Amino acid sequence: MQFPKYFTFWQKVGMHSLRLTAWAVLAFLMIPILVIVPLSFNAEPYFTFTAGMLSLDSDAYSLKWYAEIINDDKWMLAIKNSFFIGLCATAIATVLGTLAAIGLSNPVMPFQRLIMAMLLSPMIVPLIITAAGMYFFYTQLGLSGSYLGIIIAHAALGTPFVIITVNAALSGFDYSLMRASLGLGATPGYTFFNVIMPLIRPGVISGALFAFVTSFDEVVVILFLAGPEQRTIPRQMFSGLREQINPTILAVAVLLVVLSALMLLTIEYLRARAEKIRTGEI
Protein backbone atom coordinates (compact mmCIF):
# COMPACT_ATOMS: atom_id res chain seq x y z
CA MET A 1 0.00 0.00 0.00
CA GLN A 2 1.30 3.42 -0.99
CA PHE A 3 0.99 6.23 1.57
CA PRO A 4 2.12 9.84 1.19
CA LYS A 5 5.65 10.36 2.54
CA TYR A 6 4.50 12.71 5.28
CA PHE A 7 2.35 10.03 6.97
CA THR A 8 3.44 9.20 10.52
CA PHE A 9 3.55 5.64 11.84
CA TRP A 10 0.25 6.04 13.64
CA GLN A 11 -1.45 7.51 10.60
CA LYS A 12 -0.41 4.42 8.66
CA VAL A 13 -1.77 2.18 11.39
CA GLY A 14 -5.00 4.19 11.34
CA MET A 15 -5.36 3.82 7.57
CA HIS A 16 -4.76 0.08 7.73
CA SER A 17 -7.34 -0.43 10.43
CA LEU A 18 -9.85 1.69 8.50
CA ARG A 19 -9.46 -0.57 5.49
CA LEU A 20 -9.67 -3.64 7.63
CA THR A 21 -12.91 -2.44 9.20
CA ALA A 22 -14.40 -1.65 5.79
CA TRP A 23 -13.63 -5.16 4.56
CA ALA A 24 -15.03 -6.68 7.76
CA VAL A 25 -18.33 -4.81 7.34
CA LEU A 26 -18.57 -5.94 3.72
CA ALA A 27 -17.90 -9.55 4.78
CA PHE A 28 -20.51 -9.28 7.53
CA LEU A 29 -23.08 -8.20 4.96
CA MET A 30 -22.17 -10.65 2.23
CA ILE A 31 -21.29 -13.93 4.01
CA PRO A 32 -24.86 -14.86 5.02
CA ILE A 33 -25.88 -14.43 1.39
CA LEU A 34 -22.88 -16.20 -0.13
CA VAL A 35 -22.86 -19.09 2.32
CA ILE A 36 -26.21 -20.37 1.09
CA VAL A 37 -24.88 -20.83 -2.42
CA PRO A 38 -22.72 -23.91 -1.72
CA LEU A 39 -25.21 -25.16 0.87
CA SER A 40 -27.98 -25.24 -1.73
CA PHE A 41 -25.95 -27.86 -3.61
CA ASN A 42 -25.68 -30.06 -0.51
CA ALA A 43 -26.38 -33.72 -1.23
CA GLU A 44 -27.60 -34.23 2.33
CA PRO A 45 -30.84 -32.74 3.67
CA TYR A 46 -28.99 -30.54 6.19
CA PHE A 47 -28.21 -26.84 6.52
CA THR A 48 -24.58 -27.53 7.41
CA PHE A 49 -21.39 -28.22 5.49
CA THR A 50 -20.71 -31.94 5.44
CA ALA A 51 -17.19 -33.35 5.61
CA GLY A 52 -17.48 -34.32 1.93
CA MET A 53 -18.36 -30.78 0.93
CA LEU A 54 -15.40 -29.36 2.80
CA SER A 55 -13.00 -31.77 1.04
CA LEU A 56 -14.60 -30.80 -2.29
CA ASP A 57 -15.82 -34.32 -2.95
CA SER A 58 -18.08 -34.09 -6.00
CA ASP A 59 -20.46 -36.73 -4.58
CA ALA A 60 -21.23 -34.41 -1.67
CA TYR A 61 -22.80 -31.93 -4.10
CA SER A 62 -26.02 -32.35 -6.03
CA LEU A 63 -28.72 -30.45 -7.87
CA LYS A 64 -31.51 -32.39 -6.24
CA TRP A 65 -32.92 -29.46 -4.27
CA TYR A 66 -33.29 -27.54 -7.48
CA ALA A 67 -35.09 -30.51 -8.99
CA GLU A 68 -37.24 -30.58 -5.88
CA ILE A 69 -38.48 -27.07 -6.63
CA ILE A 70 -39.59 -28.08 -10.08
CA ASN A 71 -41.25 -31.26 -8.93
CA ASP A 72 -43.08 -29.72 -6.01
CA ASP A 73 -46.49 -28.28 -7.00
CA LYS A 74 -46.49 -25.96 -4.01
CA TRP A 75 -43.22 -24.34 -5.07
CA MET A 76 -44.30 -24.09 -8.69
CA LEU A 77 -47.55 -22.44 -7.66
CA ALA A 78 -45.63 -20.06 -5.40
CA ILE A 79 -43.27 -19.09 -8.23
CA LYS A 80 -46.15 -18.54 -10.62
CA ASN A 81 -48.01 -16.48 -8.02
CA SER A 82 -44.98 -14.38 -7.22
CA PHE A 83 -44.40 -13.49 -10.86
CA PHE A 84 -48.08 -12.97 -11.67
CA ILE A 85 -48.75 -10.77 -8.65
CA GLY A 86 -45.41 -8.97 -9.02
CA LEU A 87 -45.89 -8.15 -12.68
CA CYS A 88 -49.51 -7.00 -12.29
CA ALA A 89 -48.67 -4.87 -9.24
CA THR A 90 -45.64 -3.43 -11.03
CA ALA A 91 -47.69 -2.45 -14.07
CA ILE A 92 -50.24 -0.63 -11.91
CA ALA A 93 -47.60 0.99 -9.69
CA THR A 94 -45.56 2.16 -12.67
CA VAL A 95 -48.45 3.82 -14.48
CA LEU A 96 -49.86 5.45 -11.36
CA GLY A 97 -46.48 6.43 -9.92
CA THR A 98 -45.24 7.96 -13.17
CA LEU A 99 -48.39 10.01 -13.65
CA ALA A 100 -48.36 11.10 -10.02
CA ALA A 101 -44.72 12.18 -10.20
CA ILE A 102 -45.34 14.20 -13.36
CA GLY A 103 -48.38 15.86 -11.86
CA LEU A 104 -46.60 16.62 -8.61
CA SER A 105 -43.64 18.14 -10.38
CA ASN A 106 -45.85 20.73 -12.08
CA PRO A 107 -45.32 24.04 -10.26
CA VAL A 108 -49.02 24.96 -10.45
CA MET A 109 -50.00 21.86 -8.45
CA PRO A 110 -51.32 22.94 -5.03
CA PHE A 111 -50.43 21.10 -1.78
CA GLN A 112 -47.51 19.32 -3.49
CA ARG A 113 -45.66 18.40 -0.31
CA LEU A 114 -48.74 17.18 1.49
CA ILE A 115 -49.86 14.95 -1.37
CA MET A 116 -46.33 13.67 -1.86
CA ALA A 117 -46.08 12.76 1.83
CA MET A 118 -49.39 10.90 1.66
CA LEU A 119 -48.39 8.97 -1.44
CA LEU A 120 -45.04 8.00 0.07
CA SER A 121 -46.54 6.93 3.40
CA PRO A 122 -46.79 3.20 2.57
CA MET A 123 -43.01 3.24 2.41
CA ILE A 124 -42.61 4.93 5.79
CA VAL A 125 -45.43 3.55 7.92
CA PRO A 126 -44.43 0.19 9.48
CA LEU A 127 -45.56 -2.52 7.11
CA ILE A 128 -47.40 -4.43 9.79
CA ILE A 129 -49.67 -1.43 10.36
CA THR A 130 -50.39 -0.99 6.66
CA ALA A 131 -51.03 -4.72 6.38
CA ALA A 132 -53.38 -4.80 9.35
CA GLY A 133 -55.27 -1.80 7.98
CA MET A 134 -55.54 -3.42 4.59
CA TYR A 135 -56.72 -6.65 6.16
CA PHE A 136 -59.69 -5.00 7.87
CA PHE A 137 -60.50 -2.72 4.93
CA TYR A 138 -60.16 -5.35 2.22
CA THR A 139 -62.16 -7.92 4.17
CA GLN A 140 -65.05 -5.47 4.23
CA LEU A 141 -64.81 -5.17 0.44
CA GLY A 142 -64.45 -8.92 -0.04
CA LEU A 143 -60.96 -8.47 -1.47
CA SER A 144 -59.01 -10.51 1.06
CA GLY A 145 -57.97 -13.95 -0.10
CA SER A 146 -58.17 -12.84 -3.74
CA TYR A 147 -55.50 -12.09 -6.35
CA LEU A 148 -57.06 -8.69 -7.01
CA GLY A 149 -56.72 -7.68 -3.36
CA ILE A 150 -53.06 -8.69 -3.17
CA ILE A 151 -52.23 -7.03 -6.48
CA ILE A 152 -53.82 -3.77 -5.33
CA ALA A 153 -52.04 -3.97 -1.99
CA HIS A 154 -48.66 -4.61 -3.63
CA ALA A 155 -49.29 -1.84 -6.16
CA ALA A 156 -49.84 0.56 -3.27
CA LEU A 157 -46.55 -0.55 -1.69
CA GLY A 158 -44.64 -0.24 -4.97
CA THR A 159 -46.01 3.13 -6.13
CA PRO A 160 -43.83 5.24 -3.77
CA PHE A 161 -40.67 3.79 -5.33
CA VAL A 162 -41.84 4.74 -8.80
CA ILE A 163 -42.80 8.23 -7.61
CA ILE A 164 -39.37 8.71 -6.08
CA THR A 165 -37.35 7.52 -9.06
CA VAL A 166 -39.49 9.34 -11.65
CA ASN A 167 -39.45 12.46 -9.50
CA ALA A 168 -35.65 12.28 -9.44
CA ALA A 169 -35.57 11.84 -13.21
CA LEU A 170 -37.84 14.86 -13.59
CA SER A 171 -35.73 17.04 -11.32
CA GLY A 172 -33.21 17.35 -14.13
CA PHE A 173 -35.92 17.78 -16.73
CA ASP A 174 -35.90 21.04 -18.67
CA TYR A 175 -39.52 22.15 -18.85
CA SER A 176 -38.83 24.44 -21.78
CA LEU A 177 -38.56 21.20 -23.80
CA MET A 178 -42.26 20.67 -23.15
CA ARG A 179 -43.07 24.20 -24.31
CA ALA A 180 -40.78 23.79 -27.28
CA SER A 181 -42.63 20.65 -28.29
CA LEU A 182 -46.07 22.25 -27.94
CA GLY A 183 -44.84 25.32 -29.80
CA LEU A 184 -43.66 23.11 -32.65
CA GLY A 185 -47.21 21.84 -33.00
CA ALA A 186 -47.20 18.61 -30.99
CA THR A 187 -50.22 17.85 -28.82
CA PRO A 188 -49.67 17.21 -25.10
CA GLY A 189 -50.12 13.47 -25.72
CA TYR A 190 -47.56 13.38 -28.52
CA THR A 191 -45.22 15.43 -26.33
CA PHE A 192 -45.61 12.98 -23.46
CA PHE A 193 -44.67 9.94 -25.51
CA ASN A 194 -41.98 11.52 -27.68
CA VAL A 195 -40.25 14.01 -25.42
CA ILE A 196 -41.05 13.45 -21.75
CA MET A 197 -41.13 9.66 -21.71
CA PRO A 198 -37.82 9.01 -23.52
CA LEU A 199 -36.06 11.39 -21.15
CA ILE A 200 -37.48 9.96 -17.93
CA ARG A 201 -37.56 6.34 -19.09
CA PRO A 202 -34.54 5.24 -17.01
CA GLY A 203 -36.31 6.60 -13.92
CA VAL A 204 -39.53 4.83 -14.85
CA ILE A 205 -37.77 1.51 -15.43
CA SER A 206 -35.74 1.58 -12.24
CA GLY A 207 -38.91 2.55 -10.35
CA ALA A 208 -40.65 -0.42 -11.92
CA LEU A 209 -37.84 -2.75 -10.88
CA PHE A 210 -38.01 -1.50 -7.31
CA ALA A 211 -41.78 -1.98 -7.32
CA PHE A 212 -41.35 -5.52 -8.64
CA VAL A 213 -38.77 -6.42 -6.00
CA THR A 214 -41.00 -4.93 -3.31
CA SER A 215 -43.86 -7.18 -4.33
CA PHE A 216 -41.58 -10.13 -4.93
CA ASP A 217 -40.15 -10.32 -1.41
CA GLU A 218 -43.14 -9.01 0.49
CA VAL A 219 -44.46 -11.41 3.12
CA VAL A 220 -46.31 -9.42 5.77
CA VAL A 221 -49.25 -8.33 3.62
CA ILE A 222 -49.37 -11.82 2.15
CA LEU A 223 -49.64 -13.33 5.63
CA PHE A 224 -52.64 -11.11 6.31
CA LEU A 225 -54.41 -11.18 2.96
CA ALA A 226 -53.48 -14.31 1.02
CA GLY A 227 -55.35 -17.59 1.12
CA PRO A 228 -53.57 -20.90 0.28
CA GLU A 229 -54.26 -20.21 -3.41
CA GLN A 230 -52.18 -17.03 -3.40
CA ARG A 231 -49.05 -18.28 -1.66
CA THR A 232 -45.96 -16.54 -3.02
CA ILE A 233 -42.32 -17.60 -2.83
CA PRO A 234 -41.51 -15.76 0.43
CA ARG A 235 -44.70 -17.12 1.99
CA GLN A 236 -43.77 -20.62 0.91
CA MET A 237 -40.26 -20.24 2.31
CA PHE A 238 -41.74 -18.98 5.54
CA SER A 239 -43.88 -22.07 6.02
CA GLY A 240 -41.13 -24.27 4.59
CA LEU A 241 -38.85 -23.17 7.42
CA ARG A 242 -41.26 -24.60 9.95
CA GLU A 243 -42.77 -27.58 8.14
CA GLN A 244 -40.17 -29.22 5.93
CA ILE A 245 -36.68 -28.26 6.92
CA ASN A 246 -34.58 -29.11 3.86
CA PRO A 247 -32.27 -27.24 1.48
CA THR A 248 -35.04 -26.62 -1.11
CA ILE A 249 -35.45 -23.26 0.59
CA LEU A 250 -31.77 -22.57 0.02
CA ALA A 251 -32.07 -23.42 -3.65
CA VAL A 252 -34.98 -20.98 -3.96
CA ALA A 253 -33.00 -18.39 -2.05
CA VAL A 254 -30.06 -18.73 -4.44
CA LEU A 255 -32.39 -18.23 -7.39
CA LEU A 256 -33.76 -15.10 -5.73
CA VAL A 257 -30.25 -13.77 -5.07
CA VAL A 258 -29.36 -14.25 -8.73
CA LEU A 259 -32.56 -12.49 -9.79
CA SER A 260 -31.89 -9.58 -7.43
CA ALA A 261 -28.33 -9.23 -8.64
CA LEU A 262 -29.53 -9.07 -12.24
CA MET A 263 -32.01 -6.37 -11.32
CA LEU A 264 -29.38 -4.36 -9.47
CA LEU A 265 -27.12 -4.52 -12.49
CA THR A 266 -29.97 -3.37 -14.70
CA ILE A 267 -30.70 -0.43 -12.43
CA GLU A 268 -27.05 0.55 -12.38
CA TYR A 269 -26.84 0.32 -16.17
CA LEU A 270 -29.94 2.48 -16.54
CA ARG A 271 -28.60 5.04 -14.11
CA ALA A 272 -25.37 5.34 -16.07
CA ARG A 273 -27.37 5.67 -19.27
CA ALA A 274 -29.58 8.38 -17.79
CA GLU A 275 -26.46 10.26 -16.82
CA LYS A 276 -25.24 10.08 -20.38
CA ILE A 277 -28.52 11.29 -21.85
CA ARG A 278 -28.44 14.21 -19.47
CA THR A 279 -24.94 15.22 -20.41
CA GLY A 280 -25.85 14.59 -24.04
CA GLU A 281 -23.34 11.94 -25.06
CA ILE A 282 -25.56 8.94 -25.69
Partner 1 sequence: MTDTSTTGQAPSSDDQYVRFINVKKSYDQHNLVVKDFNLDARKGEFVTLLGPSGSGKTTCLMMLAGFEDVTSGSILINGEPVNNIAPYHRNIGMVFQHYALFPHMTISENLAYPLKVRKKSADEVKRRVKESLALVELADFGKRYPGQLSGGQKQRVALARSLIFEPSIVLMDEPLGALDKNLREQMQFEIKRLHEDLGFTAIYVTHDQTEALTMSDRIAVFNDGIVEQCAAPEELYERPANSFVADFIGENNRIPGTVARIEGGRAQISLADGSSATTLNPNCPQPGEPCMLTIRPENLFIAGDTLRDNCIEASFTTRLYVGDSIRYFFKMSSGAELMVKALNDSQAPVLTPGALTRLTWDLADGLALDRAI
- Site of interaction with partner 1 (CB under 8 A): 174, 176-177, 179-188, 190, 194-195, 198-199, 277-282
d(CA 123, CA 165): 13
d(CA 185, CA 162): 30
Residue 218 phi, psi dihedral angles, 5° rounding:
-85, 130
Any bridge partners for residue 61, and if so which?
Answer: 42
The nearer residue to partner 1, 151 or 199, going by C-beta atoms, is: 199
The nearer residue to partner 1, 142 or 188, going by C-beta atoms, is: 188
The nearer residue to partner 1, 186 or 255, going by C-beta atoms, is: 186
Q: How far is the CB of 202 from partner 1 (least distance, A)?
A: 11
- DSSP category for residue 230: G
The nearer residue to partner 1, 124 or 282, going by C-beta atoms, is: 282
Q: How far is the CB of 269 from partner 1 (least distance, A)?
A: 17
Q: How far is the CB of 194 from partner 1 (least distance, A)?
A: 8
Q: How far is the CB of 198 from partner 1 (least distance, A)?
A: 5
Q: How far is the CB of 109 from partner 1 (least distance, A)?
A: 15
| Per-position DSSP letters for 32-93, written without gaps between them | HHHHHHHHTTBSSSSSS--HHHHTT-GGGB-SHHHHHHHH-HHHHHHHHHHHHHHHHHHHHH
Q: How far is CA 9 from CA 6, 17, 23, 154, 175, in A?
A: 10, 13, 22, 55, 55
The nearer residue to partner 1, 71 or 106, going by C-beta atoms, is: 106
